[in-house]
Structure 1
């Protein structure tokens, strides 16, 4: 029995086999071949195999998502038969005597760059398709194994760390727990674990080795320990602990349908944070009063090209209709920093957290922004959608956003497309600058939502993704709490509401303080809704308001 220690970021017990996240190296070696004709035949065989695979994927997709959504696989089949593409590969093999996988990889890159540089939108969109079909053929030629999470049963997923683009593509039904060598308590892996209500451990270090692949293990999220090949006594002990934990979770069900109101009558809107439409089930199961943060960037992360207006509209509409009259606050695209997407071609930055990200991308690349706004506004006709804009630092940004929204609304009016003309527009308070000028900002928007993860980062000058700085990340820092209090006071002075959608919202050590500040809404991971409702219903702050604020501020 081996016990590895890390840092628990979400409690609970998981028991199962360890499976490591697998990544392709992505490097294709150039090799000289003696028989180019035989190499061309290898390519032809791999191409035929790829077309066969795509046909199977098309049939599966037709039955699951309909013919229109399955057409992509037919398009890829046609592209593999394109004469220009095939001849370019075969000519390279013949004239340069190189291996087939190298010829396919280089040709794929060349064609992709050619498509990406075209003026026509449709042709530009083919750049990612060429890369995809080339990668498929290379994989067949090299005999590379599957990447990502490769399993046919639920497992404890182990990795060095996981990027947002990797977590979004996981089959979450197959993940019992996350355990990582590195990472931080504010990483997207940690946030995803909380959304999924599964235990997670970070910072185990190099001791988490791939030699443990397939080994039976126990994850104790509360104590941050991973027990590999536990003995019989330890297994029995943790099976009992798991049943006790599940029983405690079951007890929380008594708070379903109950009002979120403190003992002294202070009502709070208790919402949930989600990453995509598949999280809706967890929102409903945990009885959240609405969605306080829909991270729309995950629509972009799970695609290999810009999602179209129609694709986005269908997702936003589905979420709005599913939630009925409950409010759904959708944050506009927030990429950059730790959320990188290849097809955006963002430049390398030395300090991306302070760089070209979120609303800055939207205001500079307005075609992307306007597409998303059109989809959001159209979907607002089908439910109670509000739109929230991230990373605001200046009043001028808000005024520019409002002009763009007004312009998009005029386009919809001209086309006779319905939308909610009274839709609420809000901003995130996640920079000290926004908190400091919150009096001015509050006059221009309908609500504030405090993003405590970034606000802590920018206030304390600590990169929240840097595991070496874990000891310097102070989520209860008085400077941070004073900024939140300032924003709350200015919101209420100007007649708008204020919520918190960062991870600090679920920190029950801060619940009294947030009630004392008059925070109107808390948006947390779905699994945290019922425990937080219980806490609020057992709390009274009115008589001790000054004392509580004095202690924290």
Structure 2
């Protein structure tokens, strides 16, 4: 039995087999080869294995998603077997006497660049397909043809790190817990784990090769036990039972309104990252969706989601919430949430770079597509729009202008829609300090305390070494919260909080005292928050 510790990132107990997940990328290090014939043979074998993998994925997509999605993998197989692509790789192997991985990486760079520079949008999008296919080939060459071990049975996922896009693509039913050797409890992946209700430990000292061993994970205490003895297993079972008993105790709050003892009503909403999170929101008595992270629609695929794909997702959310408010945040891509197909310039400090609304206002074609989908879905429920990373009044005004232009387009096309509230996220000191001006242009505020804390304290919340300095209760953060609430109420608009502070029941009464009207958090925390509100003065 071995014990390891890390940072508890998402509460809960998990018991099950560990599955080691390899890094997303496979390094294509340049190596000299003496036997060219043997290297060519290795390439042909890898190409055959990669083709079989793609065929397997295609069959799965056909059963689960339909012919259209399966067609994507038909195209991938054609790219993999393409004569020009194959010839480029083999010519490099022969000419430079280098390994096939390196030759494939060079071919990928060449072909993806050609596609990305084409005038036709469809052809530009094929650059991402080239990168995907080449990446698969490089992985096969590098790991002997084994598929990256996405678990097919319920498992505890162990990895060096997990990107949000990796996390969202895992089969949730097969994920008992996350354990990463890097990362921060304030990262988006940790937040996603909390949204999904999955125990998670980050910055953990678990050794490589833990896959296949039985494990116990305590996401509250940040502990991992490999090869647990009977006593440890029994203790884990008791803790799981205690958590289930606690959930039963809280169930009485599911149908109750969240009202303080002095009579103030607070709306308690759910944060979600995908449609699959809605069931948990409903089961826990959410009064609506306070944050639908639409960016995960962008992270799940290899190309920008189409208007139709987005419309169907937003419409489904609106329908399933049956008239309750669904606040959809426009895409918050950037920082640790990267979509390669957007081909953004590499930035020294992406947290301060082109992200969120800055992408929306510099890549208006992408933003307009999202707004069209949102407006079309608004005809089927109670949808509101929320824009992240606003720092200036002109940004809100420009967003409103674009929304107006989109409405006119839809009117001309005789497409039904409803007017939607436009809110902004207050997550920078600039927004909080000018909240009175921003309130005049907004229908509501939602405070993102995670980024607000990061930017106020000049501290990277992704950096695990800075955990002890990350203080969401810092007086400066508290003053900005109060300032934002006062400005919102003075302008006659409501203010919510959708950052992790909303789930901190020790802060519930203080947040209510500041003037917070709505709290939105991971579904698993809704009943705890309701209880805390009902017990507040």
TM-score normalized with structure 1 length: 0.91
- In structure 2, relative to structure 1, the CA distance for the partners of 1:210 and 1:53 (3 Å cut) is closer
**2-side partners of 1:95 and 1:62: how far apart?**
41
Aligned pairs for 1:373-412 (under 5 A) are 373-412=371-410
Check the 8 A contact 1:160/1:181 in 2, yes or no. yes
Check the 8 A contact 1:393/1:433 in 2, yes or no. yes
What SS does structure 1 have at the residue aligned with 2:461?
coil
**2-side partners of 1:446 and 1:199: how far apart?**
36
Q: 2:133 maps to what in 1?
A: 133
- In structure 2, relative to structure 1, the CA distance for the partners of 1:463 and 1:90 (3 Å cut) is closer
Deviation at 1:42, TM superposition (A): 5.5
Aligned pairs for 1:505-544 (under 5 A) are 505-540=502-537
Q: 2:63 maps to what in 1?
A: 63
Check the 8 A contact 1:22/1:146 in 2, yes or no. no
Q: 1:449 maps to what in 2?
A: 446
Aligned pairs for 1:299-338 (under 5 A) are 299-338=297-336
- In structure 2, relative to structure 1, the CA distance for the partners of 1:3 and 1:77 (3 Å cut) is closer
Q: 2:225 maps to what in 1?
A: 227
Q: 2:28 maps to what in 1?
A: 27
Q: 1:351 maps to what in 2?
A: 349
Deviation at 1:87, TM superposition (A): 4.0
Q: 1:545 maps to what in 2?
A: none
**1-side partners of 2:77 and 2:240: how far apart?**
48
What SS does structure 1 have at the residue aligned with 2:372?
helix
What SS does structure 1 have at the residue aligned with 2:169?
coil
Further displaced range: 426-435 or 50-59: 50-59
Deviation at 1:290, TM superposition (A): 0.8
**1-side partners of 2:223 and 2:535: how far apart?**
31
Question: CA deviation digits over 1:76-103, x for unaligned, max 9?
Answer: 2333454433444454455556555444
**1-side partners of 2:92 and 2:222: how far apart?**
53
What SS does structure 2 have at the residue aligned with 1:74?
helix
**1-side partners of 2:464 and 2:134: how far apart?**
36
**2-side partners of 1:217 and 1:65: how far apart?**
33
Check the 8 A contact 2:386/2:423 in 1, yes or no. yes
Check the 8 A contact 2:28/2:105 in 1, yes or no. no
**1-side partners of 2:493 and 2:440: how far apart?**
9
Check the 8 A contact 2:319/2:381 in 1, yes or no. yes
Deviation at 1:525, TM superposition (A): 0.5
Check the 8 A contact 2:36/2:93 in 1, yes or no. no
Question: CA deviation digits over 1:308-347, x for unaligned, max 9?
Answer: 2222222222222222211111111112222222222223
Q: 1:75 maps to what in 2?
A: 75
Deviation at 1:498, TM superposition (A): 0.7
Q: Any gaps of 5 or more consecutive residues in structure 2? A: none
TM-score normalized with structure 2 length: 0.93
- In structure 2, relative to structure 1, the CA distance for the partners of 1:203 and 1:231 (3 Å cut) is same
Q: 1:544 maps to what in 2?
A: none
Q: 2:437 maps to what in 1?
A: 440
Q: 2:153 maps to what in 1?
A: 153
Check the 8 A contact 2:287/2:324 in 1, yes or no. yes
Deviation at 1:184, TM superposition (A): 2.0
**2-side partners of 1:220 and 1:254: how far apart?**
26
1:470 is aligned to 2:467: yes
- In structure 2, relative to structure 1, the CA distance for the partners of 1:137 and 1:461 (3 Å cut) is closer
Q: Any gaps of 5 or more consecutive residues in structure 1? A: 541-553
**1-side partners of 2:209 and 2:52: how far apart?**
35
What SS does structure 2 have at the residue aligned with 1:385?
strand
**2-side partners of 1:10 and 1:43: how far apart?**
43
**2-side partners of 1:325 and 1:446: how far apart?**
19
